[in-house]
Amino acid sequence: MSSLKRESQTCSACGATAGIFVCRGCLKSFCLRHTNEHRSSIEQQMETIIFNHERLRQCIAGEEVEEYFQQLHGHVNQWETQSINKIRDTAIDIHQQLKFINQRYHNSTHDQLRQLKQQIRNAQNDGNFFENDLKLWQAEIQKLQSTISEQENLQISLDSNSESFISRIKLTDKTDYNGTIPIDYFECNRKHMNSEDFTNLNLKGEYSSGNKLFRFKLDDLEQNTFVLMGIISTSRTKNVDPYKNPTFYGWSTKNLVYLHGVPHSNIDNYQSDMDGNDIFQLILDCERQTVRLINERTHRKYELNVDISKCPFPWQPHVRILSSL
């Protein structure tokens, strides 16, 4: 005689109580108590999605994106103005050279031609000329003719052997790396400084993997301002003088490069060359264990290999400004 055996499923949450409800989404069974908890968890996830959607909507509808695109338009306008000025300056220089050469040849040739004409006329009136005089005058005429012909050898040509003095611009991503890198943008402005020392509060993140790009602008940079740009290790920086941090890798004014807190000069041909309103990119590449700096005005790029034993993970971006030393 055969018997029927009822197959039972236990709650996937506790594994002890029988599962009496099956979720249509994950197809798991839950007891009565954990059914309510499971539904509550789904509703919380829904609230998170709604919150993220609303935050994204506010970001798109806000002024930050529009202001950033206005900055890009400003860069294009600046490039256009600088390019036009370069063309105008070059044209003025060539015009001045042509004017100088023309006046020099004109004055010199006319003076010599006038003197030669007077000599020939006097000799003709007096009848005082011979074969050697004729040869001399003929040579002078040929010499003046050659001088005039030299002007016709001048031409305006394109200098194809030199680099273009107007750089062609294009719209690109802010990094040479493949893929997308999260970007933080901020401005270092003296009016936001605490006393004379400044550390941006947006630079408190810690990074041990992946890539991170920080884009920052130096406003109102004075001649004696001291700037540090790079990374430090958060695992070894407690109670450490921020300007003498032994884990600091980066760059500063006065053409100095820092390797684990020690300043060096003449490394990788680094030149600080910082002006007010300069925009820099600081790229943390944890996978390659490198840090990179790009000056958007000069287009100069610098990269440092980081010794993990000197500057272990996690890393933190380190940008500081001191108005005077």
E-strand stretches of 4-82: 21-22, 29-30
Give CA–CA dist 254/170, Å, rounded.
Answer: 32
The residue ranges of every structural domain in the chain are 21-61, 86-126+134-148, 183-322
Residue 133, number of CB atoms within 10 A of its CB: 13
Instruction: Count the helix, strand and coil residues of the chain and give each as a percent rounded to the nearest 5.
Output: 40, 20, 40
What is the tens place of the pLDDT at every residue in 90-109? 889 888 888 887 787 777 77
What is the tens place of the pLDDT at every residue in 18-65? 888 999 999 999 998 899 999 999 999 998 898 888 877 776 776 666
Smallest CA-to-CA distance from 200 within 185, 210, 211, 213 is with 185
What is the tens place of the pLDDT at every residue in 270-302? 998 888 778 888 999 888 899 999 998 888 999
Q: Are 186 and 200 in contact (CB under 8 A)?
A: yes
Q: Taking 90 as the threshold, does the pLDDT of residue 237 lie above it?
A: no
DSSP labels, 210-238 = SEEEEEEEE-S--TT-EEEEEEEEGGG-T
CATH number for the domain whose boundaries are 183-322: 2.60.120.920
Q: Are 25 and 44 in contact (CB under 8 A)?
A: no
What is the tens place of the pLDDT at every residue in 139-186? 888 888 877 777 777 777 776 655 566 766 666 555 444 333 444 445
In this prediction, residue 217 carries a pLDDT of 79
Q: CB-side exposure of 311: number of CA atoms within 13 Å?
A: 31
Q: Is the bond leading into 314 cis (omega within 30 degrees of zero)? A: yes
